[in-house]
């Protein structure tokens, strides 16, 4: 048996050389000064793998389209096993990766590990840092909530300021005339999941190759001391650091929910966008540049800062000093950190009270407010057609027909529609006479019954008359062909949930009667409803959570 195992190992080694590769990796010579300060590179690599793994898991259930992206994310968090944890690991892992990569670059800068012959190693590291920020920018839109939508609008507007290239960049990102739609989501999703990962992997392999080629930078005082092997001491330190970082990330993902605001609303002009915390300094910095100087703060100065970062090895060509004597490097890093911290704190302190009252309203909302317009309208036809003469919604005094919340829960939508049209086709013993009802009314009635359960019958019984009337008007005028309410409808127009936090009753009335007065390019028809119907539809819209 031992001979067989050895033969298999020899065959694999002869064909792949993997045993030699692992041996060379584990027993690499590293300086005697290596220690805990050099674990950051391994931690950054581990966090990237976490991002890739959780990103793949999220992609299995994610729909990269406006509207669908938001609801698919809700499905992941609320329905998929471990979905909340997976999203938490991916979201907080991105922030942790920024922290680790920045600390790694600071450590390299303080130790002067960018000097000859490691100039290209430093440049590849800076490019990897920019890719990490690129992941943050492209992933910010993907949740599809109001926060991500408006922050992306601002991002594209900043990119469009690039002299001579602004329109090209904006068009490349899928934004035409400042609008964000299906193409924008497709471009950002492709960049985030295909382009950036591929470029990052290639650059990361090149970066690790350069580190292995030139070796880990030794401290000046022990550069001539005998080297040691990476395994076992440094391997233990790297593994321990990775373990504690993952423990921290896992705890954060379990304890802190990732924020998700209401569905993106392109008409919400009152919303004040905010970037992720690691971009807040730039957000605050741009406030010093207005009008014609905006391009200076948004494009020119950040680009110059990146160029300076790239050419640091060629600017600092002096003799290597002990890290304790690199007071200039410490002073520069300290000033940069103080500037970043000051701008970030300023951005946090200047953050206005959020106008998004959606979360507050949800707490006081009643159950019927979460029903779709089809379900609300369907309950109206149940009462209008006097279905309650033969059926109970929930258990009660026996009636001719079965209790609907329990007896027909396994019946499909199509079965119900066919049963309403001609009960005897489904059950030859049935003598039920169905009142005259249109196909549209049948569909709505079937939708209502499909939602009905023993637990929510009281919800349907509590629907006020203005809501049923408003939902009927909404359905009769095919509003769902352009708008989303409680997850139902299409995304041609803005979602209508929580419209009360953005629009007044008078605005809604005026908009119904003349949409083009507010949006000249709007394709919405004029709806000059009678006063009683107008009151019902506006009241219904204002009740949406």
Tens digits of per-residue pLDDT, 419-445?
666 665 555 555 555 556 676 776 776
DSSP assignment of 252-280, as one string?
HHHHSPPP--SBP-TT-TT------GGGH
Residues 345 and 426 in one domain: no
**CA 297 to CA 279: how far, in whole Å?**
14
Distance CA 441, CA 438 (A): 5
Token pair of 539 as six digits: 């009241």
478 and 368 part of one domain: yes
Q: Which residues, in sequence order, are CB contacts of 70 under 8 Å at separation 6+? A: 143, 144, 145, 263, 264
3-class secondary structure per residue, 434-457: CCCCCHHHHHHHHHHHHHCCCCCH
Q: Give 538 or 219, the one with higher predicted confidence.
A: 538
What is the mean predicted confidence (pLDDT) over 9-20? Answer: 80
Which tens digits make up the pLDDT trace of 80-97? 899 999 999 999 999 999
Phi, psi for residue 128 in degrees, rounded to 5: -65, -40
Query: Which residues lie across from 488 on neighbouring strands?
Result: 485
Instruction: Find, among 351, 353, 369, 373, the residue nearest to 361 by Cα.
Output: 369
Which of 157-161, 203-207, 512-516 is the most confident on average? 203-207
CATH number at residue 522: 1.10.760
Q: Predicted confidence band at 200 (pLDDT cuts at 50, 70, 90)? A: very high
In the block, residue with structure tokens 């045993």 = 19
Residue 387's H or E segment, with its range, is none
The Cα–Cα gap between 131 and 138 comes to 10
Domain that holds residue 16: 1-30
Secondary structure class of 290 (helix, strand, coil): coil
- pTM of full prediction above 0.95: no
Residues 91 and 210 in one domain: yes
Of the candidates 356, 381, 416, which is a domain's last residue?
A: 356
Mean pLDDT of the chain: 81
CA angle 263, 195, 258 (to 5 degrees): 35
Last residue of a domain, one of 330, 356, 382: 356
Distance set, CA 335 to CA 128, 156, 208, 300 (Å): 23, 30, 30, 21
- C-alpha 418/C-alpha 286 separation (Å) is 62
Same domain for 368 and 348: no
Take residue 116 and report the two structure tokens written for it.
Answer: 């000859």
Contact 203, 124 (CB under 8 A): yes
CA angle 194, 59, 494 (to 5 degrees): 100
Whole-number Å distance between alpha carbons of 544 and 69:
21
Indicate if 151 and 14 belong to the same structural domain. Answer: no
Pair (311, 391) in one structural domain: no
Give the integer Cα–Cα distance in Å for 500 and 505: 8
For residue 331, give Cα distances in angstroms to 48, 75, 309, 345, 369.
30, 49, 16, 21, 58
> How many Cα atoms are found within 13 Å in the side-chain-facing hemisphere of 427?
11
pLDDT tens, position by position, 137-150: 999 989 988 888 88
Statement: residue 302 has pLDDT above 70: yes
Same domain, 14 and 104: no
Whether 37 and 26 map to the same domain: the answer is no
Grade residue 363 by pLDDT with cuts at 50, 70 and 90: very low
d(CA 519, CA 66): 20
User: What is the total count of domains within the chain?
Assistant: 3
What pLDDT sits at residue 362?
35
pLDDT value of position 309: 93
354: left (phi over 0), alpha (psi -120 to 50) or beta: beta
- Are the beta carbons of 236 and 34 closer than 8 angstroms? no
Same domain, 394 and 418: yes
Check whether residue 64 and residue 159 sit in a common domain: yes
Beta-strand relationship, 228-229 and 484-485: unpaired
Residues 301 and 418 reside in one and the same domain: no
Strand partners, 521: none
Mean pLDDT value of segment 198-208:
95
Answer yes or no: do 72 and 100 share one domain: yes
Percent of the chain whose predicted confidence (pLDDT) is above 90? 26
Alpha helices in 35-79 (DSSP H): 40-59, 68-78
Q: Is the pLDDT of residue 514 over 70?
A: yes
Strand-strand pairing, 488-489 and 484-485: antiparallel
Token pair of 427 as six digits: 């059950």
CATH code for position 318: 1.20.810.10
Exposed / middle / buried, residue 156 (Cβ in 10 Å: 0-12, 13-18, 19+): buried
Q: What is the spatial distance between Cα 215 and Cα 22, in angstroms, rounded to a whole number? A: 17
């Amino acid at each position: 048996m031992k001979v067989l195992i050895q033969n298999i190992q020899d065959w694999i080694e002869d064909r792949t050389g993997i045993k030699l590769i692992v041996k060379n990796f584990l027993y690499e010579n590293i300086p005697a000064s290596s220690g805990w300060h050099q674990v950051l590179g391994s931690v950054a690599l581990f966090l990237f793998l976490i991002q890739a793994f959780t990103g793949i898991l999220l992609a299995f259930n994610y729909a990269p389209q406006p509207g669908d992206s938001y609801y698919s994310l809700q499905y992941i968090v609320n329905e998929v096993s471990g979905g909340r944890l997976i999203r938490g690991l991916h979201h907080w892992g991105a922030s942790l990766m920024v922290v680790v990569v920045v600390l790694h670059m600071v450590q390299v800068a303080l130790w002067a590990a960018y000097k000859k012959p490691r100039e290209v190693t430093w440049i590849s590291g800076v490019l990897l840092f920019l890719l990490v920020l690129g992941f943050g920018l492209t992933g910010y839109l993907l949740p599809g909530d109001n926060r991500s939508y408006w922050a992306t609008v601002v991002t594209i507007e900043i990119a469009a300021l690039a002299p001579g290239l602004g329109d090209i960049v904006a068009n490349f990102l899928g934004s035409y005339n400042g609008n964000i739609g299906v193409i924008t989501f497709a471009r950002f999703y492709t960049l985030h999941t295909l382009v950036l990962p591929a470029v990052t992997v290639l650059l990361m392999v090149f970066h690790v190759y350069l580190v292995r080629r030139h070796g880990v930078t030794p401290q000046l005082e022990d550069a001539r001391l005998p080297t040691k092997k990476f395994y076992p001491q440094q391997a233990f330190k790297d593994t321990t650091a990775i373990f504690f970082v993952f423990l921290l990330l896992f705890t954060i993902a379990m304890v802190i929910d990732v924020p998700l605001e209401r569905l993106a609303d392109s008409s919400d002009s009152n919303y004040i966008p905010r970037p992720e915390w690691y971009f807040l300094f730039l957000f605050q910095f741009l406030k010093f540049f207005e009008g014609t100087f905006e391009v200076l703060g948004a494009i020119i100065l950040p680009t110059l800062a990146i160029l300076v970062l790239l050419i640091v090895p060629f600017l600092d060509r002096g003799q290597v000093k002990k890290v304790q004597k690199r007071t200039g490097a410490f002073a520069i890093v300290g000033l940069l950190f103080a500037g970043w911290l000051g701008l970030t704190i300023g951005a946090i302190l200047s953050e206005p009270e959020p106008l998004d009252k959606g979360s507050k309203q949800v707490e006081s909302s009643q159950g019927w407010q979460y029903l779709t317009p089809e379900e609300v309208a369907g309950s109206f036809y149940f009462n209008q057609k006097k279905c309650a003469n033969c059926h109970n919604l929930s258990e009660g005094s026996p009636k001719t027909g079965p209790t609907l919340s329990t007896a027909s829960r396994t019946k499909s939508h199509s079965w119900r529609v066919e049963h309403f049209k001609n009960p005897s086709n489904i059950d030859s013993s049935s003598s039920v006479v169905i009142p005259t009802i249109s196909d549209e009314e049948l569909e709505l009635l079937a939708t209502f019954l499909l939602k009905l359960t023993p637990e929510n019958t009281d919800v349907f019984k509590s629907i006020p008359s203005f809501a049923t009337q408003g939902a009927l008007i909404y359905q009769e005028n095919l509003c769902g062909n352009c708008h989303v309410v409680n997850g139902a409808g299409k995304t041609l127009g803005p979602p209508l949930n929580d419209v009360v936090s953005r629009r007044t009753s008078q605005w809604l009335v005026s908009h119904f009667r003349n949409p083009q007065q507010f949006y000249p390019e709007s394709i919405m028809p004029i709806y000059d409803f009678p006063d009683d119907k107008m009151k019902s539809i506006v009241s219904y819209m204002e009740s949406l959570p």
